Amino acid sequence: MSDTAQDLLGTDIGRVVQASFDRQGLMRSFGARLARLSPGLCEIAAPITPETSQQHGAAHAGLTFALGDSAAGYAALTMMEPDAEVMTAEMKINLLSPATGRALIARGRVARAGKRLVVVTAEVAAQAEDGSLRVVALMQGTMVPVSAPSAPPEPTPPADPA
């Protein structure tokens, strides 16, 4: 999962993507972070924890799907006008093997950006304790550009479980 490309984190579009990402309660609950952002590419990483695991100890497919979907969506957002957002119209996933290890890293890419549809792919890899990566899921989908809300919602703090 290695590429060399222009890093957009810290740029105007990077700040737009980071602000949008920070408003995602689901990503926050997973402990996910934006790891890399380039034109047409986004990487999101999240630890595999007992809270995100299924009954056999592997990461739940919901975590795998959510990370891949978000990475693909933010890859698409890097190709949009500054006042746009994107939403998933459809997404397919092939789970290749159990997602075991210390973290999942999802890499979303734009396959083709059109005016009305953006075709995206995502590859999700499990990172082992030694840092090696093993691809556990492949995804393909379509994102639709939408108008950004006039006032995005403020992030809400996590609920106190007590």
pLDDT digits (tens, 9 = 90+) for 35-81: 999 999 999 999 999 999 999 999 999 999 999 999 999 999 999 88
Give a yes or no: residue 93 inside a domain. Answer: yes
* Chain Cα centroid distance, residue 5: 18
Distance of alpha carbon 34 from alpha carbon 5, whole angstroms? 15
The structure's pTM equals 0.87
Q: Say if 43 falls within a structural domain.
A: yes
Q: What is the mean pLDDT of the chain?
A: 90
CATH of the domain at 141: 3.10.129.10
Is residue 1 one of the residues assigned to a domain?
Answer: no
Task: Please report whether residue 5 resides in a domain.
Answer: no
Residue 2 domain-assigned (yes or no):
no
Neighbours of 100 (CB within 10 A): 15
Question: Residue 153 domain-assigned?
Answer: no
- Residue 4: band (very low, low, confident or very high) from pLDDT cuts 50, 70, 90: very low
Using DSSP's 3-state secondary structure scheme, residue 159 falls into coil
Domain count, the chain: 1
Write out the residue range of the structural domain in which residue 131 sits: 12-147
Please check whether residue 76 lies inside any domain of the structure: yes
Residue 161 lies in a domain: no
For residues 65 and 21, give the distance between their C-alpha atoms in angstroms, rounded to a whole number.
Answer: 16
pLDDT digits (tens, 9 = 90+) for 110-141: 999 998 999 999 999 999 999 999 999 999 99
